[in-house]
Amino acid sequence: MKYGRDLLKDVQGYVPGEQPQGQRVIKLNTNENPYPPSPRVKELFDKFDLDWLRKYPDPVSSQFREICAARYGYDSPDWVLIGNGMDELLALVLRTFVDPGDDVLATYPTYSLYEILCQLHGCPLKYVDLDEDFQLTEEFYTTPARLCLLTRPNAPSGVAVPREAVERLCTEFDGIVVIDEAYVDFADDSCIDFPKRFDNVIVMRTFSKSFSLAGMRIGTAVANPDIMAEFMKTKDSYNMDAISQLVGLVAMDDYAHMEMNAGYVCVTRERVRQELIALGFDVPDSQTNFVLARWNGSPSAKELFERLGEQGILVRYFNARRLENALRITIGTDEECDTLLAALRGMVG
Ligand SMILES: Cc1ncc(COP(=O)(O)O)c(C=O)c1O
């Protein structure tokens, strides 16, 4: 089990404050959004009144849940839970529905935090490999577990399995299916309607990526009200502070701003993907705000990662099976991506 700096390095790929000194850092390693959040968030902070902090916040984020329910196509806030980042909701789902010792199922590769959360909770995480094209295999549908964690679109591949495949999983899996839609605003479609159709499905989202609010810690979960009632019993009473609730609410209310930023990111993503392919990388079609650039040439992917780091360009390298020949690159501004591409051209071109 890793702690402190090692744990941070594992989850984030870097330790804050350890960036190369005196260099302009281009941070393309944790899938943040390069564009600012809604200007309404700025207005909110301009109007900030300290008195907002004197009282406890609404324990169940009522207004915020209402606006999320409407946006997600649900007629009642009873279908929605707000969390202190999606990571809190992922930990909560284990605490609420999984006993220590129960099996949890996930694809390999997937979001690396699942393994850490399962270790902390004392429940074995069973990985079933995605196939070469990062699609689900027959074995995945037939592996029994109490809970299944499915990242769609997948991280770190960027690939989204078809909705029909998720539909089949939700029908056949005898347990709870969590669909992690952290990157869905950069994708062509979503499974946000699945909780209406399947009692065993929880869809989770985050404001860290498409809404440019990673620093606020806001996540949402959508599931039928019976599941939500269980969550309400296990969550911390005041899990969302007053500021996060307000920021989330105004950001959600300015949905068009998020869609505009996500649109910019997707355009840059397609250009970066094509340029990486022209350089000889193998880059699966991404439905996220990052690309997985696979590289079998010389210098190795690990060396590329290190040499980029020396130039202040941070990307993510996984020292892990099936990923050791790849770089995961967050889509930044066009200028940031051009700097990255120029640096790579100098190394592999
Ligand atoms: C697949 C996936 N799920 C969840 C999260 C966590 O989101 P949050 O920042 O809301 O905790 C991340 C963050 O990188 C992620 O990649």
Helices 86-97 and 225-234, packing angle to 10 deg? 100
Distance of CA 81 to the CA centre of its chain: 17
3-class DSSP state of 141: helix
CA distance 349 to 310: 18
CA distance 331 to 114: 23
Nearest C-alpha neighbor of 159 from the set 196, 187, 195, 185: 187
- Digit-by-digit pLDDT tens for the chain (349 residues) are 666 666 666 655 556 555 555 668 999 999 999 999 999 999 999 999 999 899 999 999 999 999 999 999 999 999 999 999 999 999 999 999 999 999 999 999 999 999 999 999 999 999 999 999 999 999 999 999 999 999 999 999 999 999 999 999 999 999 999 999 999 999 999 999 999 999 999 999 999 999 999 999 999 999 999 999 999 999 999 999 999 999 999 999 999 999 999 999 999 999 999 999 999 999 999 999 999 999 999 999 999 999 999 999 999 999 999 999 999 999 999 999 999 999 999 999 7
Instruction: Count CB neighbours of 143 within 10 A.
Output: 15
- Mutate which of 88, 151, 184, 208 for ligand 1 pocket (most atoms within 8 A of beta carbon): 208
Helices marked H in the chain: 4-12, 39-46, 62-72, 86-97, 113-121, 138-142, 163-172, 194-197, 225-234, 242-253, 255-278, 301-310, 334-348
Count of alpha carbons within 13 angstroms of residue 94, beta-carbon side: 25
Nearest C-alpha neighbor of 276 from the set 291, 261, 256: 291
Nearest C-alpha neighbor of 191 from the set 287, 61, 331: 287
Residues of the chain with CATH 3.40.640.10: 39-253
Q: Report the separation in Å between the CA atom of 201 and the middle of ligand 1, taken as the mean of its atom positions.
A: 18
Expressed in percent and rounded to 5, the helix, strand and coil fractions of the chain are 45, 15, 45
Sequence-separated (6 or more) residues with CB below 8 Å from residue 138: none
CA distance 19 to 175: 43
Q: Report the separation in Å between the CA atom of 182 and the middle of ligand 1, taken as the mean of its atom positions.
A: 6
Q: Report the separation in Å between the CA atom of 208 and the middle of ligand 1, taken as the mean of its atom positions.
A: 7
pLDDT of residue 24: 81
Q: What is the per-residue burial (b if ≥16 Cβ within 10 Å, else e) of 297-314?
A: eeeebbebbeebbebbbb
Residues of the chain with CATH 3.90.1150.10: 4-30+256-348
Q: Which CATH class is domain 4-30+256-348?
A: alpha beta
Q: Report the separation in Å between the CA atom of 151 and the middle of ligand 1, taken as the mean of its atom positions.
A: 10
Residues, the chain: 349
Residues with CB under 6 A from ligand 1: 31, 85-87, 111, 151, 155, 180, 182, 206, 208, 214, 219
Q: What is 39-253's CATH number?
A: 3.40.640.10
Q: Report the separation in Å between the CA atom of 87 and the middle of ligand 1, taken as the mean of its atom positions.
A: 6
Identify whether the C-beta of residue 136 lies closer than 8 Å to the C-beta of residue 169: yes
Task: Tell me the residue type at 54.
Answer: R
